[in-house]
Structures are given as C-alpha cells and as structure tokens.
Amino acid sequence: MPNNGSGTSDGRLRWGILGTGFIADLQVRDLVDNGFAVQAVGSRSLETSQAFASRFGIPTAHGSYEDLAADPDVDVVYVATPHVFHHENALLALNAGKHVLVEKAFTINARQAQEIVDLAAGKGLVALEAMWTRFLPHMARLREIVAGGTLGEVRKVVASHNQDLPKDPAHRLNDPALGGGALLDLGVYPVSFSFDVFGAPQRILASAALTATGVDRQTAAIFEYADGQQALVDCALDTAGNNRAAIIGTGGWVEIESVWYNPTPFTRYDASGNIVERFDEPVQGRGMQYQAAELERLVREGLTAGTVLPPGESVAIMAALDEVRRQIGLTYDADRHH
C-alpha cells in the first residue's frame, strides 16, 4: 500500500469533485497525475461540469451538487466552492455517506465547522480540511525539527501571505456575501502554520484595514501563548509580498523561502547563524496530492482523525479567525444565522 507520505494513491477510493473553479482545477490535476481515481464532477451547470470532465477525462459529469453527492460510484467528495458554501456542501456530501475533503478556510465560522465535524464523527466519516501545506514534505520535516529540540525553546513564528489579487468589487475575494477578504483566503495559511507549531493561542491581538466593499484588505495579528511565545501573522489581498516564514528558537532558527506555503526549500541555522541544514526536496505538480493521500490513508485505516490536522484543530483555527474578525469588525451573514 502506498503510504501517505508518498502522495500517491492505490486508486481504490473514487473521488467526486464539487465545484469547478480555479482550486478544483489545481487539485484534480494533482489527483490525476498521482493515480487517484477521479470518478465524477458536479457543478450547478451541466455544461460547466461536462467541460471540466472532458478536460480531465472524468467519467461522470453531474449538473447539480445533489446529483454528485448521490452518485453511488463516489466515495469521497472534494468541496471546492467559495467559503460560504463549504458548510452546506459538506453537510450534503456527509449526509449522502461520503467522506469529505473541504477547501480552506474550512467554513465561515467555528459554529459551521463544528457542525461538519460532529456530523462526520456521528457517521464515522472523514472530514478533512484541505490545508494542503500541512501535508507537504518540507512541513513534515519542520515538525521533526521542532519536536527534535535542535531549535531549543521555540519562541516565535513569523509568517506572511500577501498577494496582489483582482480589484473587481464583484470578485468573490472582495464580496462580503461570498466570505471575501484577505483573512479567510490568505491569512488562514499563516494562522494554520502558527497552530501547527504552537497550537491554539491564549490571546489574540489583531488589526486591519478594510476595503470599500467592507472586507479586510490587510490584516495583521499577534498570537500569544502560555509561556510567552508569539506568532506574528499577516496577510493582504492588494499588495504582493515576499511570502516567507520563520520559526525562531533559543538554539537557532529556520527560514522558509518564498512561497513558504508551497513546496519550497528551507534553511536551518544555529544560534550563531551557521547553516546546519538545507532542505530542498522536489515535489511533483503543485503538491495537493499529499492531502488527498492523507484522506485515503485515514479511510483505509478506519480512522476519522489524523495527527497532522485533526478535525478539532480545524474548528479551533476557525475560532481563532472568528476572534480576529471580531476585533477588526468583519462580520458575515453566516455569523447572524443560527
């Protein structure tokens, strides 16, 4: 059996793709290239679905999400719609008995995230957040380094995600009705990274500037932890940046190159600034196959939670994003509907 670390599949689980946008395109490319069985795709338009299916050689095209979820030949549904639809789309698939890989941000808020996780647990199904960075080889090695103690006491994480993205007010990134803003789209990466290293923060201090449409244009936060550690995280959707990250300890530091959340090299230094390790492992494609391999591993081993990104942590990450939004005054419709 291929192991999770290989990013390949034995092709036994059959994948259904819910949504046909940019991210679905990237994910399916990596699935197809690594032996995953992509069985079906569903879109709100049959025409769009058929075009996507023909592009990737997918056997079945459905003209609705309901038909995809009901397809008896689908075992796993990858949810690739905008954030605001993740909750209802994931519940639809889970209620149809399918495992789900749900794009990040996992949902709009922690309440929605908890509902997905609870339903999956109740049905013995996997609900995995598609935070693909977590499963990349360089992140696996970074966890070993932190656990191994060579950085001494880890005191600080610094991570940025700044991009120059479309300015059109109707674009989903700028539309509050679609969960727009830098935080949920881009900030989720550095926030998830700080959770990976330190776990949930004790206290959050956040600051932001909003767009004319009322979503966050740029946001920065300090996450504080019990023993005085800090994570400094920032994001922006209208200014490109170097998108580097660092883990800093009393015994040395690691610098992760641009773009840190992609498959990328990193350098580990000792406290005097001498290079002690250089990690540079090439990854096929974009690297989104590793998260899919993790989902397949969980199913194969009869687990609903792994150690790299357990469902409870996805809920906790959403709770941290909720607190940042509370502090910067960014609310979405989903926050008002219970």
pLDDT tens, residue by residue, 54-70: 999 999 999 999 999 99
This model's pTM is above 0.95: yes
Residues of the chain with pLDDT under 70: 1-5, 338
Location of each CATH 3.30.360.10 domain in the chain: 137-282
Architecture of domain 15-132: 3-Layer(aba) Sandwich (3.40)
CB environment 146-168: b (16+ within 10 A), e (fewer): beeebbeebbbbbbbbbbebeee
- The CATH code for residues 137-282 is 3.30.360.10
Q: What is residue 211's predicted lDDT score, i.e. its pLDDT?
A: 96
pLDDT at 310: 98
324: exposed, middle or buried (C-beta count within 10 Å: 0-12, 13-18, 19+)? buried
Q: Which pLDDT does position 78 carry in this prediction?
A: 99
- The CATH 3.40.50.720 portion of the chain extends over 15-132
Looking at residue 260, what is its pLDDT? Answer: 98
